[in-house]
Structures are given as structure tokens and as C-alpha cells.
Amino acid sequence: MIFKLEATDGRARRGSIHTAKGMIDTPVFMPVGTQASVKSLDPNDLSKLNAQIILGNTYHLYLRPGVELIKDLGGLGKFMGWDGPILTDSGGFQGFSLGRLMRTDEAGIEFTSHLDGSTHMFTPEKVIDYQESLGSDIVMPLDWCVELPNEFDTLKTAVERTTLWAERSLHSKRTNEYALFGIVQGGTEKTLRELSAKQITSLNFEGYSIGGLSVGETKSKMYDITSFTTELLPEDKPRYLMGVGSPEDLVECVAVGIDMFDCVLPTRVARNGSLFTSKGKINIVGKKYRNLNQPVDLRCDCYTCVNFTASYLSHLFRSKELLSYRLASIHNLHFITNLMAKIRNSIKLGEFNEFKNCFLNEYRPTNEKLRIDQKQKWLDIKKGNF
């Protein structure tokens, strides 16, 4: 993997990541295909949406259908019909999100399968082996992600364990056919972020990720810690903020030097009838859209907006028609990939700050309290706290 930094505008960066399966223009958003599928969409849809790289989940693919089966069938890309680059995460986030179904110690993370109750041990070495079997282009090492807010000592232990696992992951890497990224932890404690960044960057990974954010803290705190941490990372390697995908978050975090993002949010909220527009997110099942004979967003040229009215989408959701998932997901991912393209162009032209201000002045994000409450409800369901 080769990363080229092509332009800067303030701290915002435009670059390119060159992989064996193609080039990725950055800043980039990666749609999440947890189980070898971006829900309701196929690879042709993703190509038309200008998705440059997608993300797969090692934990879920390990459980079903199994990494050995995928390896025998030619690797994850061939298995799912996607010929572009693929990043796979390690299962570390599931160590956080599955709560009562896991326990962790220095050896790794022991999971109780949410499918059949069987027990599985994820060690740093096994996780590297699994991802090599999947044929990933960018690989994430096992890390320990903890909920925020949290005690200082717990956050410190997470940093120490993540560094230990990072060292073991590097020693387990058997080929140069993929890039291995390091992960910086530390919660919202800047002293721990600084410690983690120093330790992880000393190991000379091919890229660096910021983990452990968007897990319960406020947006302002997330922006502050992201800004602080990017300053601690090398300029000549890609910077990846894990699990962040709200439009306003993408703009704010590009502004402080982030190159890569992933999140299930655009497609998850789409399946619940929440659609991005130039003025903010709307709920398509709302009364005002039932008879609206125009696209969801008059400025949008996605397949959904070109061919269907807001009234029709509202009908699909109210009728629980499966087509609603696909059309809404196409719209939201188009909004995000188009936003990233506009960001890249504004950086190239030296106009990113003007673009950022214009976008944020018009786009109205979800109420902060509502956002946190929704996130917590989702985590409680994942952890079984209901």
C-alpha cells in the first residue's frame, strides 16, 4: 500500500491510497458490509454510488460462514462479487458492543456466540490469521474498545492492552500483500491518547486509526479528542477515524486531518426511514411527506431521487415493502459519497473552509440528546440490556 498526500487546506488533507485492487481517493467514506453485504445493496449498486472501498467484519464472518470457507472460495472479494479494496476490522468493537457476551484479558477476547452460545477465543495472532485468510487489503489488529465515559484506570488498561496486542499482531503478519494499521486508544483522556499514540506510532504501522470514540461521549468532546490525536500521528500515512459517519461529523473531522471513515449509520438509519438532505435528516414516514410529489431532496441526483417521489418512499415504508430499504440506502450512501467528493474537490481548490462553513450553516444535525439516547438504545439491544 502506498499513500500519497496530494493537497492540504489548513489541516484538511486530500490524498490517495494505492492498493493492488485499485486506488482510493481520500478523504473517503467506507460503507460497512458486516456480513459480506452492505445491507439491501449489491456490488453493482456500490460501484454506481462511487464506493471506493468497503468494510467487512472479521468477528461476524468468522462465525458465519467461516473464514476457511471464504478462503477456499477465493477470498472475501470474490465471495461477495466485489473487485475493489476491502478493509476488515478485528472484532475489537464487538468486544465492546456485545457486552455480556464477552470477557477480555491479556490473552485476547473470549466471545460467547450470539448465534448458538458457543465459545470462541480471539487472540491478536488468530485475528491476523483470519484476515489474511479473508484476503483483506487493509487489516485492523485486535484492540480493546471501552465505553465512555469510563474510569481513568480502565482507559489506561485499554491503552496498555491495545499496545501489547498491536506488537503481537505485527509479529504475526506473514505477508506484505496487505497493509496493517495501528489503533490509538485512550478515551477522552488526552494524556492517555498521547501515550497510546507514542507507543503505536513507534511500531511503524502502514496507517493509523483512532478508536474508542463515538461510544457515548458528546460530539464536541469527540471533535476535541480527534483534533488532538491527529496532531500526534505521522503526516505521511493515512489516518482513519473508526465508526464515525454522520454528515456533520465527516466535515468536522476532515477539517482536523482525518482521511478515512466508516460507519453503519447511513444505511442503518435509511432502513428506519431517516434520509439525509442538504438541510438535515428527515423522517420519510412523517405526515408532510405522504402527499409530497417531488424527490426527497431537490438537489440530489441519485437513482432514488431521479426516479421516485417522497410520497412513494413514504408509501413503501408505511407498507413495509422491502424496496424501501434499497431506495433509502441508495439515497443515503449517495449523499455521503457525494459529500466526500465535494470535500476532496474543495481541498484541491483551497476552498475547504468556505465549503465547511456553507455546509454546516445549512445542514441541521440531529438533536444531541436524541442522538445519544438512540445510540444507547442500540447498544443496550446489542449487549442484551433490555
Mean pLDDT per 10-residue segment, the chain (386 residues): 98 98 98 97 98 97 98 98 97 81 92 93 97 98 94 97 98 96 98 98 98 94 98 98 97 98 97 97 97 97 98 98 98 98 98 98 80 56 44
* Domain ranges (residues) in the chain: 2-264, 270-362
What is the reported pTM?
0.94
The DSSP line for 43-93 is HHHHHHTT---EEEEHHHHHHTT-HHHHHHTT-HHHHHT--S-EEEE-SHH
Query: Whole-angstrom Cα distance, residue 275 to residue 263?
Result: 15
Q: What pLDDT is attached to residue 297? A: 97
Beta strands in 219-279 (DSSP E): 239-241, 260-262, 274-277
238 touches 15 (CB < 8 A): yes
| Lookup: cell for 236 | 505521511
Q: What pLDDT is attached to residue 386? A: 30
Q: What pLDDT is attached to residue 41? A: 98
Give the position of cell 423522517. 283
Q: Which of 85, 90, 83 is nearest to 67 (CA)?
A: 90
Q: What pLDDT is attached to residue 247? A: 98
Per CATH, the number for 2-264 is: 3.20.20.105
Q: What pLDDT is attached to residue 366? A: 76
| Lookup: cell for 287 | 405526515
302 touches 14 (CB < 8 A): no
Q: Which of 338, 356, 375 is nearest to 52 (CA)?
A: 338
Residues tagged active-site: 89, 262
Q: Which of 232, 229, 231 is nearest to 241 (CA)?
A: 229
Q: What pLDDT is attached to residue 95? A: 76
